[in-house]
């Protein structure tokens, strides 16, 4: 079978950087699935693109599918022929359906008897025949976050689709898809005046032709050029570009022909806190910051140009003008805001609604402060430390009503602005740090609060939002989580685990709801829903630590006195479950649980009704177990508690080997069930080990 190289380019208006990565990866997977489903193949594959194009380049793709030999079974032999040997209507219909003739018939033996059958050859389709329906199905399914409809109402795309370049070998494949005719034409860099039709003479010529017209179509090659340009940027002595891999990836999806240009801003803006400058340069403008030899922010920056290198000086001046203007605004906000202390902004919180049913930001601050006060008491924090925590809680949201955060481009700096304004206001450094850290962790890769003030206020803030939102009926459903309650709950659990504080999760939730009482009309079960919601995050975290799901399931019935203790309990159980003695105990306990599932008995057993020595031995072991568990669990010694359970393994096994529980004697039976019920109850203080999975 002859093979050829294949090229598909989808040309469009510039798509946003955030639309490119997932769509490109999806396009690759879709093409691979198409090739596999079509019984084709390829030797090498490259799927990549720029903001203006996606392309697929595959080598050695077969021109057509191989033919298939298909075996078709028909009606039973006895109803396929008449007495005179002629075919019956049933047999003739079978032949017509499969486009076969009487000479193709052979007899096939089956479990149900002989049938007639034919072997037919199905001719493979050409690659171009297969391509058209795949393209028609592909284009509307691109996973863009947002789509728009252009000329064709049936096609929604990130930006208008302009051209399709389609080659198979050296020949263009003429197809019509959603009103766009494919050909062998592509287009160069529009910013350099090179947006003219370019004839692609072969698949191999595609990338070189674009390179000659200032388009680096291969994303990895483009990213490498960006990194190289940043490293070689002519900076001042000792200066270097601040590493920012995420920004490099974003910029790569904004340009087609990158070149690094060094620029600068007025040095007087270095009076601003660093993150304000970084937010302006990196987050808003997508430029790279520069640091001096001491690691401090310098007044230089580097941007990746998509324009003519020969006109870099003109482009540079335009970018410097924009950056200086933005920093001028930021400096004005900063100086205006810091003319008064941070505390002076607190009254303005009364005018900002946190949530219609939960009151204002000032209400939220009062709730956070009350919860912090209770936590400080529970943690027995010294008075001086507690006062810092309460001061942090009081000032935590004050920056939200400043001029700086009134500007949308700086909203991601909430907390950081509060910290900087607190320092200017001569607040305690730990209070200032706590204001910044109480939002942490802001995402999955963010650090946890390092200051004690930040940790306490972070827990209070997150807990108030979780309980408040669930309290007004806004518990997340499915993937919808508009208030990021899952992230808040996960952060809360991470902080509690990292700190190892002996704070009961039940008491924390109960206290939060008590403080929220004047805002909520509590429905039955709301508090339990909040607790269960947070507990799901605890279990997720434990699974990330490598703790087996069945270990976590076996602790599901226990209240979480503290996350640190719960984690220790799970780790101890996960460790001991690897021992043979424990697994034998699990098997024995499953017998206890299974019997009690069918015939649970409450109350205490009567030793005077014991008829066999094994009953008495098990009862005496139970008496010893009760004392051991009360002592070990009081000291959170879970290893000792679990080994006390293991010691019960032998008397349990001996009991089941010798004693018939479901005897005909009703009094004896009930007494034995009561004994097992007491054992079951004691075991559940540690874990429901009947949920532990026993292999085999």
242 in Cβ contact with 288 (< 8 Å): yes
Percent of the chain with pLDDT over 70: 99
Higher pLDDT, 78 or 453: 453
Q: Over the stretch 501-559, which tens digit does the pLDDT of each residue have?
A: 989 999 999 999 999 998 887 677 889 999 999 999 999 999 998 999 989 999 998 88
Q: Is 268 helix (H, G, I), strand (E, B) or coil?
A: helix
Q: Over the stretch 284-321, which tens digit does the pLDDT of each residue have?
A: 899 999 999 999 999 999 999 987 777 788 889 999 99
| Residue-level pLDDT at 599 | 61
| Residue-level pLDDT at 139 | 94
Q: Is the pLDDT of residue 121 over 80?
A: no
Q: Over the stretch 79-94, which tens digit does the pLDDT of each residue have?
A: 888 878 888 898 889 8
Which range is least confidently modeled, 35-44, 248-257, 332-341, 582-591?
A: 582-591
- What is the signed CA dihedral for 276, 278, 284, 289, rounded to 10 degrees? 150
Tell me the range of 108-112, 166-170, 394-398, 581-585 where mean pLDDT is highest: 394-398
Q: What is the mean pLDDT of residues 164-180?
A: 91
d(CA 592, CA 583): 14
Q: Is the pLDDT of residue 152 over 90?
A: no
| Residue-level pLDDT at 593 | 84
| Residue-level pLDDT at 696 | 58
Higher pLDDT, 598 or 44: 44
Q: Over the stretch 369-389, which tens digit does the pLDDT of each residue have?
A: 999 999 999 999 999 999 999
440 in Cβ contact with 449 (< 8 Å): yes
Could you tell me the pLDDT band of residue 200, with boundaries at 50, 70 and 90?
A: very high
Q: What is the mean pLDDT of residues 85-109?
A: 86
Which range is least confidently modeled, 160-174, 315-329, 430-444, 664-678?
A: 664-678
* Domain annotation for the chain: domains and CATH numbers: 3-64+126-212 (3.30.70.260), 68-122 (no CATH), 219-337 (no CATH), 346-544 (1.10.3210), 570-691 (1.10.730.10)
Find, among 577, 581, 602, the residue nearest to 653 by Cα: 581
Could you tell me the pLDDT band of residue 109, with boundaries at 50, 70 and 90?
A: confident
553 in Cβ contact with 536 (< 8 Å): no
DSSP 466-526: HHHHHHTT---BTTB-TT-HHHHHHHHHHHHHHHT----HHHHHHHHHHHHTTT--PPTTH
Q: Which helix (H) or strand (E) holds 543?
A: helix 526-544
Q: What is the mean pLDDT of residues 319-347?
A: 95
d(CA 261, CA 303): 5
Which range is least confidently modeled, 20-34, 481-495, 627-641?
A: 627-641
Helices (H), 106-159: 127-138
- What is the signed CA dihedral for 201, 204, 206, 208, rounded to 10 degrees? -110
Q: What is the mean pLDDT of the chain?
A: 91
Percent of the chain with pLDDT over 90: 62
| Residue-level pLDDT at 400 | 96
């Amino acid at each position: 079978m002859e093979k050829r190289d294949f090229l598909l380019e989808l040309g469009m208006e510039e798509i946003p950087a955030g639309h490119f990565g997932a769509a490109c990866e999806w396009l690759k997977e879709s093409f691979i699935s198409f090739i596999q489903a079509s019984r084709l193949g390829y030797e090498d594959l490259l799927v990549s693109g720029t903001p203006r194009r996606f392309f697929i380049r595959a080598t050695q793709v077969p021109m057509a599918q191989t033919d298939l030999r298909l075996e078709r079974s028909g009606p039973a032999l006895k109803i396929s022929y008449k007495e005179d040997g002629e075919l019956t209507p049933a047999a003739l219909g079978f032949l017509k359906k499969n486009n076969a003739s009487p000479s193709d018939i052979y007899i096939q033996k089956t479990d149900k008897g002989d049938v007639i059958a034919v072997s037919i050859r199905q001719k493979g389709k050409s690659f171009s025949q297969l391509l058209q329906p795949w393209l028609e199905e592909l284009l509307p399914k691109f996973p863009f976050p947002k789509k728009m409809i252009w000329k064709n109402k049936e096609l929604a795309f990130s930006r208008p689709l302009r051209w399709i370049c389609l080659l198979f070998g050296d020949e263009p494949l003429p197809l019509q898809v959603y009103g766009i005719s494919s050909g062998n034409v592509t287009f160069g860099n529009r910013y350099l005046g090179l947006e003219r039709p370019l004839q692609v003479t072969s698949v191999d010529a595609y990338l070189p032709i674009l390179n000659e017209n200032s388009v680096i179509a291969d994303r990895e090659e483009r990213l490498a050029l960006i990194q190289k340009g940043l490293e070689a940027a002519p900076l001042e002595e000792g200066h270097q570009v601040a590493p920012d891999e995420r920004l490099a990836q974003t910029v790569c999806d904004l340009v087609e022909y990158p070149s690094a240009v060094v620029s600068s801003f007025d040095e007087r803006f270095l009076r601003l806190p660093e993150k304000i400058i970084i937010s302006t340069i990196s987050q808003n403008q997508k430029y790279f910051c520069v640091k001096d030899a001491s690691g401090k922010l310098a007044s230089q920056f580097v941007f990746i140009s998509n324009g003519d290198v020969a006109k870099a000086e003109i482009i540079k001046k335009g970018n410097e003008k924009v950056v200086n203007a933005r920093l001028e605004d930021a400096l004005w906000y900063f100086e205006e805001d810091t003319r008064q202390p941070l505390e002076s902004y607190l009254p303005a919180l009364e005018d900002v609604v946190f949530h219609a049913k939960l009151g204002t930001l000032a209400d939220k601050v009062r709730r956070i402060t009350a919860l912090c006060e209770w936590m400080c008491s529970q943690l027995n924090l010294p008075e001086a430390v507690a006062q810092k925590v309460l001061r942090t809680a009081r000032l935590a949201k004050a920056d939200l009503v400043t001029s700086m955060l009134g500007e949308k481009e700086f909203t991601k700096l909430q907390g950081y602005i509060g910290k900087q304004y607190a320092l200017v206001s001569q607040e305690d450094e730990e209070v200032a740090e706590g204001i910044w850290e109480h939002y942490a962790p802001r995402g999955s890769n963010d650090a946890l609060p390092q200051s004690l003030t930040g940790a306490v206020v972070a827990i209070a803030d997150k807990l108030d939002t979780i309980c408040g939102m669930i309290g007004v009926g806004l518990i997340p459903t499915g993937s919808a989580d508009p208030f990021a309650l899952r992230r808040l709950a996960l952060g809360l659990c991470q902080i509690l685990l990292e700190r190892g504080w002996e704070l009961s999760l039940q008491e924390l939730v109960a206290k939060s709801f008590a403080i929220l009482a004047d805002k909520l009309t509590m429905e039955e079960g709301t508090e339990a829903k909040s607790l269960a919601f947070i507990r799901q995050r605890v279990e997720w975290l434990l699974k990330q630590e490598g703790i087996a799901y069945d270990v976590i399931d076996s602790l599901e019935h226990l209240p979480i006195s503290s996350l640190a203790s719960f984690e220790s309990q799970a780790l101890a159980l996960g460790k001991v479950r690897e021992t043979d003695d424990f697994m034998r105990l699990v098997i024995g306990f499953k017998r206890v649980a299974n019997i009690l599932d069918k015939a649970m008995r409450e109350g205490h057993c009567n030793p005077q009704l014991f008829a066999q020595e094994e009953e008495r031995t098990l009862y005496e072991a139970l008496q010893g177990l009760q004392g051991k568990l009360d002592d070990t669990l009081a000291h959170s010694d879970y290893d000792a508690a679990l080994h006390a359970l293991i010691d019960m393994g032998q008397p349990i096994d001996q009991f089941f080997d010798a004693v018939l529980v479901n005897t005909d004697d009703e009094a004896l039976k009930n007494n034995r069930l009561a004994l097992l019920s007491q054992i079951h109850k004691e075991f559940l203080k540690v874990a429901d080990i009947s949920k532990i999975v026993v292999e085999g």
